[in-house]
Chains A and B, each alone.
Chain A
Amino acid sequence: MGNIEELIAKLAQDTAAVKPAPHPYMLSLKWVGAAAAYLAVSLAVSGLRPGLMEKFHEPWFAAEIAALLGIFIATSVSAALLAFPDLHQKRGAAFAPALTFALLLLVIFFAWNADSPPAPLPVHSFECTTDITLISLLPAAWTFYAMRQYASTHYHLAGGIALLSAFSVGALWLRLHEINDSIIHLIQWHYLPMLVFGLIGLWLGKAVLKW
């Protein structure tokens, strides 16, 4: 008991005015803005896929891009909330990425059904995963660095969501850049690896976000 009193006295003595962290919604807005700028620059450098505007007239392509955007925004908001010990008391919003992933699954399912006759498989395969990974590295590093400034009590989940957020940027970039309409290829080399990286993020979260 005496030790507790001593500790309290010491902590009180050490304290000075502290600037509270920004609201997680503002934080995620900053992250989304930075990632959007990065995506725009990446697309400007690598180039948009030819006929992108016409492609947006295809409902399942437009829905897929919308679902990916939804994942990107929901994971950014969720990562910001998960950086706070109490999830800023917005538990529902922190788990919103589950809904957006369900939406993407649904869109992929319908796009697959509508893909008749099936679009030919592209000649490349793992290169897509490599490209997505390379594009995602910077947003991933940025998100982890930013999250470390706070105090996550759900570091596994926070790590997973942070990587998914970064990889959604990579996946969006490739979808807007690459000429490819094979759903099988998308599942195999875009979205499944993205989920695998989400799982790796669970482990990385413990290594990087533990405090």
Chain B
Amino acid sequence: MTDNAGNLEALMRQSLAGDQRAYASLLQETSRLLRPFLAKRLSFTNEVDDLLQEILISIHKARHTYDGNRPYKPWVYAIARFRLQDYLRAHYSDHLRDAIELSEVEESLPEHVTETGMSYESISGEVQKLPEKQAAILRLMHQEGYTAKEVAKKMGMNESAVKVAAHRAYKILRNKLER
């Protein structure tokens, strides 16, 4: 199946008429179409998958608003952008809610946040169990030797957020290793 526009519109028309196979093909083509769009805007594969699922459900709910007579792609991208904005808004508001002022953690931060007494290799098993973003930050800082500033630039975050995430990861690791 090629993803040229005419095919997608024809598939949608068949889907609206109740053709389940055409609908499955349409959703597969749509997810192929949207995956790179989302991957460009989100950092992690699991985020892309989660959001893609939400978008497919939204397409399903809103399919009666497409009549098969106008281009399909602008319709589907409008829904995708809408869900992406919703996701990013919720994501960033969660971050703001959970955000810790750097001054609050400064005292408990090690002198140099990139230096710890333990080698990264010895605890890499535990690091892998951390949330994806925290694990990535520790890997970049301790295995690949980037500074917090460089990691921030690489991951599209600010330096304080990287330090806070690293601090949280240290706390989790410390608790685990002390047990």
Number of interface residues of B (CB under 8 A): 35
Which residues of B lie under 8 Å from residue A211 when comparing CB positions? Answer: 58, 61-62
Known contacts A15-B18, A211-B61: does B75 contact A23 (CB below 8 Å)?
Answer: no
The distance from the CB of A157 to the nearest CB of chain B, in whole angstroms, is 12
- A20 on the interface (CB 8 Å rule)? yes
The distance from the CB of B70 to the nearest CB of chain A, in whole angstroms, is 5
The distance from the CB of B15 to the nearest CB of chain A, in whole angstroms, is 7
A19→B64 contact, CB < 8 A: yes
B74→A86 contact, CB < 8 A: yes
- A65 on the interface (CB 8 Å rule)? no
Q: How far is the CA of A19 from the CA of B23 in the complex (A)?
A: 15
- A153 on the interface (CB 8 Å rule)? yes
Query: Which A77-92 residues have a C-beta within 8 angstroms of B?
Result: 83-89
Which residues of A lie under 8 Å from residue B64 when comparing CB positions? Answer: 18-21, 150
User: What string of 1s and 0s marks CB contacts (under 8 Å) between B65-82 and chain A?
Assistant: 111101100110111011
- A1 on the interface (CB 8 Å rule)? yes
Identify which of A8, A89, A151 contacts B62 (C-beta below 8 A). A151
Q: How far is the CA of A91 from the CA of B65 in the complex (A)?
A: 16
A8→B27 contact, CB < 8 A: yes
The interface centre, meaning the residue of B58, B60, B79 with most chain A CB atoms within 10 A of its CB, is: B60
B56→A151 contact, CB < 8 A: no
- A116 on the interface (CB 8 Å rule)? no
A85→B65 contact, CB < 8 A: yes
Identify which of A7, A12, A21, A151 contacts B67 (C-beta below 8 A). A21
The distance from the CB of A100 to the nearest CB of chain B, in whole angstroms, is 25
A85→B78 contact, CB < 8 A: yes
Which residues of B lie under 8 Å from residue A153 when comparing CB positions? Answer: 78-79, 81-82
25 A-B pairs, CB-CB below 8 angstroms?
A1-B49, A3-B49, A3-B53, A4-B56, A7-B53, A8-B56, A11-B23, A11-B24, A11-B57, A12-B20, A15-B15, A17-B17, A19-B64, A20-B64, A20-B66, A21-B64, A23-B67, A86-B75, A87-B78, A89-B71, A89-B74, A150-B64, A151-B58, A153-B81, A153-B82
